[in-house]
Chain A
Amino acid sequence: MAATTVARRAGIRLPAWRADILIVGAAALLLGYLTIVPLAMLLLGSLSSGSSALDFRFTLQNFQRVLTDQASLELLANSVMYGFGSALLAFAIGTGVAWAVERSDVPGRSIWYGLALVPLIVPGIVHTIAWLFLLSPEIGWINTPLKALFGFSLSVYSLPGMIWIEGLHTAPLAFVLMSAAFRTMDPSLEEAAATSRADPWKTFRRITLPLLLPTAASVLLILFVRAIEGFEVPAIIGLPGRIYVYTSRIYTSLNQYPPNFGLSAAYGAILLFISVGGLLIHNRVTRGSERYATVTGKAYRPRRVELGRLRVIAIGALVSYAIVAIALPLLVLLYASFVRIYTVPSLETLGELTLRNYTFIATDELTRRALGNSLLLGAASATVVVALTAVIAWVTIRTRLPGRGVLDFLAFVPITIPGIVLGISLLWVYFTIPIRIYGTLWILLVAYVTRYLPYGIRSASGGIVQIHRELEEAAAAAGARWWPTFTQVLLPLLRPALIGAWVYIFIISLRELGSSILLYSADSVVLAVRIFDLRDSGNYTTIAALSVFLIVLLVILVAILQRLGGRTVREA
């Protein structure tokens, strides 16, 4: 039997049947519990008029309302426009900055590279609130002079306003993905065009652009899926402006009186279908991209375009980007954190600066609890995901055990589940299963582990593929059993990939809002939720202080982890 042979070859001295059951069975059960059960419950919830899956009473009423509601087309249109608008803006900014840094001779490339990544650290909710201070119609930093000088203002509470904020926040992701594409691009075709006396524009249009198209399509789809599953901008900007998208509609259908759990599940199911559809198209696009084989993993050194006199314009654009994406949001948060009630800066307000907001967050028990919970959950979810996915990756890559492909699939499925959809799905799970963990840290741990499994599995699989199996075979030949081989041979070699995944999951856990907002209680409050709740209380200046604190905390954490992990973390 293949499984027995492989298990023996890998040094497993346990009887083969036990290895099969223990490893694949336990992992499949756990992954099924984490991924399939919530999705099944979501569908059952959306199709039931009962209060739990055990009380299932079939109805199409929720879907009927979602699909035939007069506002449903508007909801779909808003979601699609918001998703594509944000994706296009992020892509344009990210690609522009990536091209300048990777393919032009603009000076100070490493500085621009670092600056372009800074917004990645800032949590979405903090970024959104900063732009609320900047673009509020009457009291925004940008609108006040606009109104005084030109008599008009830009309303942040609009679809363009939402697209601007989301696009600006996801631009660093586009930058990272596109700069990798630019860096690994084979320059020989461009050089051939240049020797054929094609001008730079023609070369870009006829050579560079077609070569980048598959990568660009893939990046755009990732940005689209990320935008439509985002919750912060739709909730904070969209709701006051009556611009509803699926995530905010899920939230409002729960927060109306009385709450409608079935309707929110139906909205969640629709959003899930869109998200899955987007990723299926993404996979289809990237699967056919091998024929554009000039963008590969080989270490090319692409030719840099000499900008000449355009260099000044490029520097000006990069400086403008740094001001808009980094300096302005941070400055407005810093200012707001030192005033009692937010108003437009004036000599009067500058004379009334106070530390009251910082005193509040230092003494507020809920904020302290939220900080502790966030750090604990971040560390726990990162550890669980890394440990679990290391084993799953080993099973899927090193063995021929039946069902290993299913394990890989199950671990990757959550990439398609938006945070708020996972939240509503887990509500239905615990309405049905008598495990009393709603409102505790445990349910948040379940949610975080589920959400971040895909990052863990991709990192661990990528790491194991690069390690030749002969090292494990040598250990087995020397008489080592599976566990010592796994822990003493494989794990040390996998360490860089695992540390990278751990750090990444830890950082993004600290910013998680979409699922936490539906699953927390006072005892299990986390930082992003605390900020969201303070906003509901109108404590904007306190939020500003908490945001400044959170940014400083994240920068310090990233710096420490970078120091501990060295190159590994930087690469992650």
Chain B
Amino acid sequence: MERKLATTLAVLGLLVAACGGTTPVAQPSPTATATAKPTTTESADQVMARLYEAAKAEGGQVAFYSSTNTDDAKKILPEFEKKFPGMKVTHTRKSGEALVQQLVTEKKAGQDLYDVVETNLFEVAFVVEQGYTQKYVTASAGDFPADARATDGSWIAARFNNDLPGINTTKLPAGVTIKTWKDLCNPALSGKIAVEQGDVVVYSALRKILGDAEAQNVLKCIAANKPSLRSGHTDMANLLAAGEFAVTLSSNGHRLAQLKYEENKPIDWAKTDPIITDVQAMALSNKPKNPNGGKLLLEWLVSPDGQKAIASTGRVPASGKVPAKYPDLYNFGKLFFVNDALRADFTKDADFWRATLGIK
């Protein structure tokens, strides 16, 4: 009864927030000053030192459910294990929807297998709403912009995904340029577009950026170009680089940059303004198997060391104190942060998205 009441209040809260935020507003950049204060007076290093000792005593394990792809996780997580010898992170990698399915299934089956979950804000907010997480304010929370964390400690983001239309420069038909989402309506791109089928959030953001009618028109005309529906952004970006399609509605900027600068593939991205910035939120399990290990990983990922490790992969760190490796992923427009308020219309947006693109 209490849970139902809490859920109802939460939904009402979201609705109120959504009603008050219909105007597209470009949010502050990652360098914006944060105001929230951590709940502890210890420094981040002191907190981690304390948690490290406790984490070792509980077995030195962390179960990390994250949408970070395997290649990048293999660069980031060993840094954590190097800094804290004896700690071992088990990374379960899935896309946002699949991760939520796994986590919800586990919880319904009475299993508590994860310590920290990290994926798109929409999905993490849903998990928070179900009561499967607990609040935890990290010592470095003050370094993060307001859009990158919940003030009550429900979640915090260690990184952002810049959702940009990706381009294979050798496959783009002659005379076609992509500067904004509307350019994807060009009939010359028929059969040459790919869409990640779980990207409802992009449509939700476009509704705020372009307005309802225009966003619907854009999605309809993209659908008329018969896009290939993909599952997984890294998969889609790799196939873009291989030449399977000419453009994508929305690829993760860091993967496009990796392919362009590190793999020398003929890749570019549309310089949209604003830039849809998908917040990748993290939350601590309500019943973690390794509570101290989970907190330690959370603390480290948002600490300067963790943020540098994230930045080293080309991903955009959420902290204002660590610069991204590829500034040309976000230096051409205002950032439009995906926020929890957008989620209020999720069902409606998802229905329109699926119906328009033919997703059953």
Q: Which residues of A contact B (CB under 8 A)?
A: 51-52, 71, 74-75, 136-139, 157, 239-242, 244, 249, 252, 254-259, 261, 340-344, 364, 366, 427, 430-431, 434, 436, 438-439, 518, 521-523, 533-540
Contact code string B68-107 (vs A, CB < 8 Å = 1, else 0): 0111001000000000000000111111111011101110
A interface majority secondary structure: loop
Q: What are the residues of chain B within 8 A of A430 when measuring CB–CB?
A: 109-110
Instruction: For residue B350, give the distance in angstroms from its CB to the closest CB of chain A.
Output: 8
Across the two chains, which residue of chain A brings its CB closest to B68? A537
Instruction: For residue A454, give the distance in angstroms from its CB to the closest CB of chain B.
Output: 27
C-alpha spacing A539/B108, complex, angstroms: 31
The yes or no answer to B155 lying at the interface (CB within 8 A) is no
Please determine whether A538 and B236 come into contact, CB atoms closer than 8 angstroms: yes
C-alpha spacing A364/B63, complex, angstroms: 16
Instruction: For residue B125, give the distance in angstroms from its CB to the closest CB of chain A.
Output: 10
Contact code string B206-237 (vs A, CB < 8 Å = 1, else 0): 00000000000000000000001111111111
C-alpha spacing A342/B104, complex, angstroms: 34
* Contact A139 to B237, CB < 8 A, known contacts A255-B98, A537-B232: no
C-alpha spacing A539/B104, complex, angstroms: 26
Most B CB within 10 A of own CB, among A71, A259, A261: A259
Q: What are the residues of chain B within 8 A of A364 when measuring CB–CB?
A: 70, 74
Extra A-B contacts (17), CB below 8 Å, given A257-B126, A342-B242, A536-B95: A138-B244, A138-B245, A240-B230, A242-B358, A242-B360, A252-B360, A257-B198, A258-B100, A261-B105, A427-B105, A436-B111, A521-B92, A522-B63, A537-B69, A537-B232, A538-B233, A538-B236
Please determine whether B105 and A438 come into contact, CB atoms closer than 8 angstroms: yes
Please determine whether A538 and B238 come into contact, CB atoms closer than 8 angstroms: yes
C-alpha spacing A536/B110, complex, angstroms: 27
* Contact A136 to B244, CB < 8 A, known contacts A242-B229, A242-B359: yes
Residue in contact with A138 in the complex, picked from B94, B111, B234, B243, CB distance below 8 Å: B243
The yes or no answer to B254 lying at the interface (CB within 8 A) is no
Please determine whether A75 and B245 come into contact, CB atoms closer than 8 angstroms: no
Residue in contact with A240 in the complex, picked from B95, B96, B229, B350, CB distance below 8 Å: B229
* Contact A538 to B108, CB < 8 A, known contacts A239-B229, A242-B359, A256-B97: no
Interface size on B, residues (CB 8 A): 58
Please determine whether B126 and A538 come into contact, CB atoms closer than 8 angstroms: no
Most A CB within 10 A of own CB, among B96, B98, B101, B346: B101
* Contact A139 to B243, CB < 8 A, known contacts A239-B197, A427-B109, A522-B63: yes
Across the two chains, which residue of chain B brings its CB closest to A535? B235
Q: What are the residues of chain A within 8 A of B197 when measuring CB–CB?
A: 239
Please determine whether B111 and A341 come into contact, CB atoms closer than 8 angstroms: no
C-alpha spacing A430/B105, complex, angstroms: 10
Q: Which positions 88-147 of chain B face chain A at CB distance < 8 Å? A: 90-98, 100-102, 104-106, 108-111, 113, 122-123, 126
Residue in contact with B234 in the complex, picked from A255, A436, A522, A538, CB distance below 8 Å: A538
C-alpha spacing A538/B231, complex, angstroms: 9
* Contact A257 to B97, CB < 8 A, known contacts A239-B231, A537-B235, A538-B236: yes
Nearest 7 pairs of A and B residues by beta carbon: A538-B235, A438-B109, A538-B234, A538-B238, A522-B92, A259-B101, A536-B232
Residue in contact with B104 in the complex, picked from A258, A341, A535, A540, CB distance below 8 Å: A258
Q: What are the residues of chain A within 8 A of B235 when measuring CB–CB?
A: 535-538, 540
C-alpha spacing A162/B69, complex, angstroms: 28
What are 16 inter-chain pairs, A to B, with CB distance below 8 A?
Answer: A74-B360, A75-B360, A139-B239, A139-B242, A242-B358, A255-B97, A256-B350, A257-B198, A341-B259, A431-B109, A439-B111, A521-B92, A523-B90, A535-B232, A536-B94, A537-B234
